[in-house]
Structure 1
Amino acid sequence: MRRRLISSTLAVVLVVISVFGVSLVIVETRTITSSAQESVDSEALRLASIVDSRLVGGERVDPDILSGHGGGERYARIEIPGSPRIELGERPDGSVIRGTAVGERGERVTVEESRSSVTREVGRTLLIIGAVALLAVVAAVLLAVRQANRLASPLTDLAETAERLGSGDPRPRHRRYGVPELDRVADVLDASAERIARMLTAERRLAADASHQLRTPLTALSMRLEEIAVTGDLDTAREEATIALAQVERLTDVVQRLLTNSRDPRTGSAVPFDLDEVVKQQVEEWRPAYRSARRALVRSGKTGLRAVGTPGAVAQVLAALVENSLMHGGGTVALRTRVTGNQVVVEVTDEGPGVPADLGARIFERTISGRNSTGIGLAVARDLAEADGGRLELVQLKPAVFALFLSRETGRRDRDEDRRDDPAPPRPIR
C-alpha cells in the first residue's frame, strides 16, 4: 500500500509539473524572444533619432559620434542617401534578431543581435524551472512517504486489532489516528471488542452459575438415589423416589431459569407463594447431609407467611445459605422466618466462628471465599434474590446471620399487627 500511495502521488506530481513546466517554458521562451526583439527595435529607433537630429542640425554623422551616444554594443548599420554606409560593432554570425528603423531624411538604421544570447537566456530560465521542478518532486516524494506511513500504519494497527479480536483477545485499544475515517473504524472495533468481552463474561458467568446451581439439586438427588439403593422397604423406596422426582423437577426449573437469565438477566417471574413449603423442603433435603456431619438443622419463627418471588429461586438461595453454613459454619443451623414491615425475612444462622471482619464487606463478591471453595455461591444467591425484587444481606458477623428479604403478600390489618409484634430488623453489614 505504501508503494502504491507513493507511486500515485509521484505520478500526479509529475503530470502537473510536466503540464505546467512545458507551458511555462513556452511562455518564457516567447517572452524572452519578444523582449529581445523589442530591445533591438528600440535600439534602431534610438539610433535613427540621433541620426535625424544631427542631419537636421547640419552636423556630421560618423561612427565615433554614434558610438559615444551608446551605440556599438550591438551591430548597427546606418545607410544615409548620398553618404557611405556606417557600421557599428561586430556583425554577428549565424541566426540573428534584426530591427530596422527609417528616419525622416530617408536614412535606414538596421540593428542586429545574435540569437545565441536569447538561447542562453532561455537556457538559464529552463535551468531555474528544472531546479524548481526537481525540488517539487523531492518534496512530493517526502510528503507521499509521510502520508503513506500515516495512512498505512493505522491500517496495519487496525488489522492487528481485528486479528486480536478473532483470536479471542477482546480488550479495546482506544487508539485514534487523527483521520476521521480510520477513527470511525477504530470506534467500531473498540465497540465490538467491548461487546465481545461482555458476551464472553456472560458466558463464563453462566457456566459458573450453572455448575454451582446444578450441584446442590444433583447432590440431593444423589442422596435420595442412595437411600433407594440401600433400602429394602418398598414404601420407603417409593417415598424416596417421589422426593427424587421432585429433585428432577427442581433441576428442570434451575436449567430453565439459567436459560432465561442468559437471554435477559432482568427477566423475573415473581408470584405469590407459600414460604413455609419452601423452607420445609430445604430442611428435609438437607437434614440427611447434616445428620451425616452430626449436626442439626432446625426451623423456627412465624408460620403461614406468603411471599412474592420465584419459589425455585428462593429455594436455591436458601440452599446456598444452608450449604454455606454446612461447609463454613458449625453447630446447629437455624432457619427463622419473621416479618418486618411489608417484608418477609428468612434468617439462616449457625453456631460457628462467623465471618472474618476483613471479608464481611466483600462476602457477596465473586471469587471471595474464606476457604477453598468456588467463591460464587453467595454472589449467585444475591443475584437470584435481586432478580425477583428481594435482597440478601449479611446482618451479623459472629455468629454469622444471613437474611433474605422478600416482599410479603398481606393485607393492611396483618401489616398493623406485624408492626406491633415484630421488633426492628438488624442493620446489614456493609
Structure 2
Amino acid sequence: MKNRLILLTLATSSLVLVAFMIPLALMVRSAAAEHAVDDAATQAQATASLVATLDRTDLPAVVGQSVRPVTVFLPDGGVVGQQAVRDDAIRLAATGRSLTTAAPGGREVLVAVAGLPDGTAVVRTFVPDSELRRGVARTWMILGAVALGLLAVTAAVAAMLARSLIRPLTALVDASDAMASGDLTVRTAEAGPQEVRRVGSALNRLAERISALLQHERETVADLSHRLRTPLTALRIDAESLRDPEDHARIGEGLDDLERVITDIIRTARRPSAGEPPGAARADAAAVVRDRTTFWSALAEEQDRLMHVDLPPQPVWVAATPEDVSECVDTLLDNVFTHTDEGTPFTVRLIAATDGGATLTIADSGPGFPDPSAVVRGTSTRLRSTGLGLDIATRVATRSGGTLTVTASTSGGAAVVVEFGPPRGDAGAGRRALRTGRRASVR
C-alpha cells in the first residue's frame, strides 16, 4: 500500500510537471530564436543606415567589417558583401517592405533601404539554425534536472505521508494477528487518521468484549460444575447405604470417576490461560515434576511400588503454566496408579530438549495400552476409564507447542511421552541445560 501511494503521488506530480515543462521548453526555444533574430535585425538596421549615407565606393569596406555576414542588394542589380541569391523574398523587400523569412539552414532578415537615387536597396543578414538554437539544449537539461529534483522531493514527502498512514495500519494488523493467535491482552494505540483511530478503538473494544465473554464462560462452567457436587454428594450417601458390597464398590468407583471429571472441569474453567498466546506461559518443569513426584511417592510406598525419578538438577523452562505441568503429571501418574496393579514399578523421566523445552516420559511395567486411540478424547478400552486423562495431558502439551505420544515401555508396559515447547525467547535453553552435565536420580 505504501508503494502504491508513492506511485500515485509521483504519477500525479509527473502529469503536472509535464503540463508545465513542455510549454516552458517550447517558450525557451522560441525566446532563443527571437533573440538571435533580433541581434541580426539590429545589425541589418545599422548597415542599412550606412548604405543610405555612404558613398558606394566606401560601402564594400564597411560591409566587410560587419560582425555577421551581410549582403547588400543595390537597386541597379549590384551585390556588396557576402554573395547570395536574389530570390522572391529579396524582390519583395525591394518594394520597400522589410521582413524576416525562413531560408534553407536558418532564417534571413531583410531590411529595405529606401530613398536612394536609383531606387530601394535591400540589406540581408542570415541567422543559421545553430544560432537559433544556441543555449536551448543546456536550458532544457536544467529544466529536466529541476523536474527530477521536484519528483525526488515529492517521493520523499509521499513516503513520509505514507508511513504516517501505514504505521497505524501495521499496528492494527499486528494486534489482529496477536488476537487471532490467542493473545487477548494486546491493545493497539489509537493513532493515525480518524478512520484508522476508529478501527483501532473498535478492535480494542472487541478484544475486551471477547475477554469478558470468555471469563463469563469459565465462571459459568465452573459454577455449574460446583453445582454438580450437590447431587454427587447425595448419590454418594445413597451408595453408602447399599448393602451389596459389589454394588457399593461399583457405584463408588463410578462416583470417584465422576468426581475426578468434575474436578478437572473446575480446574480447567478456572485456569486463567485464555488470552495468552502459545509460548507466553513459563514454568520450571523440573521443579514442578519434583514436587508432584514427592507428593505421589507416599502412595507409591504404600502400594509397594518402585518409583524411579530421573530429573535434571537445574531448572528446565517450558511453555506452560506451573498449574498445567502439575495437572499433566498428576493425570498421568493417576493413570498409572489406577490402571496397574499394586507393586507395579514405574519411571518418571524429564529431559531438557536441545532446542528448548523438555520431554517428560512416564513409563510403567503394567499391561500397557492395547489401543493407541487412547489419546482420543472420550475413548477408552479399560474399565472405569473415561478417556479424558490423556486428552487433558494432550491439550497441555499442545498449548505449550509440543505433542503427546503413547508407546510401549522397555518392560512391555505403557509409556506416555509428553514434549513441552520452549517459552518465548528460550530457544537453546535446553542446550545450556544439557551442558551442566549432572543429573539426579531419586528412588
Taking structure 1 as the reference length, the TM-score comes to 0.43
Taking structure 2 as the reference length, the TM-score comes to 0.42
**Which structure has more helix as a fraction of its residues?**
1
Tell which structure's C-alpha radius of gyration is larger: 1
